[in-house]
Chain A
Amino acid sequence: DAGVIQSPRHEVTEMGQEVTLRCKPISGHNSLFWYRQTMMRGLELLIYFNNNVPIDDSGMPEDRFSAKMPNASFSTLKIQPSEPRDSAVYFCASSLWIGSTSGNTIYFGEGSWLTVV
């Protein structure tokens, strides 16, 4: 399996520009997560989807951030307009939830390294 695939791996953009990060989850997985990692705040859950439906977006920092999952094999995280404080590594992760209550193993992509100047 190719694992979780993210693009772009690195992006440098100017403040005010729109940024779109892309993710392809592991085939067959039905849950998808977007995390942000910074030195100050660590790994933060931004939003997650189950069966393509957004379940909890309480971690999305503000209205400039939006996420979509139009089908089971693709998701985007968009920042518009971008600001320097959005500079971080954005990880997409996926898992297969089989309906049990015992938790599910989450696999991370390689991350998208975003720098806003």
Chain B
Amino acid sequence: GENVEQHPSTLSVQEGDSAVIKCTYSDSASNYFPWYKQELGKRPQLIIDIRSNVGEKKDQRIAVTLNKTAKHFSLHITETQPEDSAVYFCAVSGGGADGLTFGKGTHLIIQP
């Protein structure tokens, strides 16, 4: 089955700096790559996603890049703010109706 590796497990950045989280996957047939944010005690919520026919997607301070050849994708958060503190999960799907395979998560800490 699909294997998703996510790094780092913990990331601490100064408020206003950028944060980058990286994921690699194993199945070259995978074609859907969402990112979820989970605050303490809450449910995972989709923040951005990218499909395999696109190399980059941006939504305000958040961007995702995809390198299908190397089988990795990254989440970029610029101008970080205290409310960005949370656990971020990458996920991978092969398309169709199947479920997502998640990375182990990155605990992002924004230092004031």
List, in ascending order, chain A residues with CB within 8 A of B101's CB: 45
A12 within 8 A of B: no
From B36, B45, B95, B104, contact of A102 by CB (8 A): B95
How far apart sit A43 and B93, CA to CA, in the bound complex (Å)? Answer: 14
Q: Which residue of B lies closest to A100 (CB)?
A: B95
Please judge, given known A-B contacts A42-B102, A43-B102, whether A97 and B97 are in contact too, CB under 8 Å. Answer: yes
B61 within 8 A of A: no
CB distance from B9 to the nearest CB of A (A): 11
CB distance from A91 to the nearest CB of B (A): 6
Please judge, given known A-B contacts A45-B99, A97-B97, A103-B95, whether A110 and B43 are in contact too, CB under 8 Å. Answer: yes
CB distance from B104 to the nearest CB of A (A): 5
